[in-house]
């Protein structure tokens, strides 16, 4: 049974990858800073002393960049080199849609580190996650009954991490079919934030609205959340790009690779009605 090291294993993406690997008959070694369960291994991107044990005996690596890490040259780039030295045969990197065009974002630097070495990698470039509704946007939905982002009237082909996890597991199970591939991943329909707010309203039974934030207003909003400066700037830039259609294209790649239609943002809202229970007021 092939063993796969999954970074970010306790996060939303990592959990989906681990679950999908299990269904595919692969053994997941969960990389985490604070191991709690069998199958966990201590791992810290900022502590190279933890890397060798985590990488030992591993055939594949699911690699993702923690949002707080922006300096790739001292973290993910040397980790990629260490994985290759340790004999890891394939690296599947969770990048972001547009990383091939937006050379300034950290994901692009990780992609360059992969390409500078042997052809032992695959890249996933998902668009905006449906799971943002339970993460970046959840406080505004629960507390203020609103979506508040600087996206204007742009449409977004939200992708569900359940589908991303399934594809990652397929790639790690049969890496030879995906060597050197970079896949842009979207959901099957592009929706406006007004339409998402309407779906949330129908699901929760209360009025949830979309308020198009200004750029200064959104930056101030994120600063109140005490996010790292780099994350704040990248998150703002990505949302502003939605105004200009940067995430509206529905890409058929995910459906082709999965052999079935991927889940839509409306499927996701329907499946997670309990997530947006009102808090306060």
Domains of the chain and CATH, by start: 3-129+159-186+249-262 (3.40.50.720)
Tens digits of per-residue pLDDT, 93-102?
999 998 888 8
Give the closest residue to 128 by CA, choosing from 95, 162, 159, 166.
159
pLDDT at 36: 82
Rg (alpha carbons) of the chain, rounded to whole number = 19
Say if CB 26 and CB 4 are below 8 A apart.
yes
pLDDT at 181: 97
pLDDT at 144: 94
User: CA–CA separation, 275 vs 268, rounded Å?
Assistant: 11
> Please, what sign has the CA dihedral across residues 128, 131, 134, 136?
negative
Question: Predicted confidence band at 199 (pLDDT cuts at 50, 70, 90)?
Answer: very high
pTM equals 0.92
pLDDT at 37: 84
Give the closest residue to 263 by CA, choosing from 165, 140, 136.
165
pLDDT at 67 over 70: yes
Give the closest residue to 185 by CA, choosing from 155, 159, 156.
159
Mean pLDDT for the chain? Answer: 94
């Amino acid at each position: 049974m092939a063993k796969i090291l999954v970074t970010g294993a306790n996060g939303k993406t990592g959990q989906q990858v681990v679950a999908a690997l299990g269904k595919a008959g692969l053994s997941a070694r969960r990389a985490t800073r604070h191991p709690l369960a069998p199958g966990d291994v201590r791992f810290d991107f900022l502590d190279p002393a933890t890397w060798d044990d985590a990488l030992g005996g591993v055939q594949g690596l699911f690699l993702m960049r923690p949002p707080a890490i922006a300096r790739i040259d001292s973290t993910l780039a040397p980790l990629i080199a260490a994985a290759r030295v340790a004999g890891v045969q394939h690296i599947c990197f969770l990048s972001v849609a547009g990383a091939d065009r937006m050379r300034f974002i950290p994901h692009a630097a990780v992609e360059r580190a992969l390409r500078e070495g042997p052809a032992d990698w695959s890249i996933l470039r998902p668009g905006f996650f449906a799971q943002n509704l339970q993460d970046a946007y959840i406080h505004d939905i629960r507390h203020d009954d609103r979506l508040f982002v600087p996206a204007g009237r742009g449409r977004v082909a939200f992708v569900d991490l359940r589908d991303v996890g399934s594809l990652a597991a397929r790639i790690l199970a049969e890496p030879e079919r995906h060597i050197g591939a970079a896949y842009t991943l979207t959901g099957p329909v592009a929706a406006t934030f007004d339409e998402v707010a309407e779906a949330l309203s129908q699901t929760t039974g209360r009025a949830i609205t979309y308020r198009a934030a200004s750029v200064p207003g959104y930056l101030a909003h994120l600063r109140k959340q005490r996010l790292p400066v780099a994350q704040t700037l990248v998150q703002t830039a990505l949302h502003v790009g939605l105004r200009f259609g940067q995430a509206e294209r529905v890409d058929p790649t995910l459906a082709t690779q999965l052999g079935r239609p991927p889940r839509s943002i409306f499927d996701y809202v329907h499946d997670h009605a309990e997530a947006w229970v009102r808090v306060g007021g």
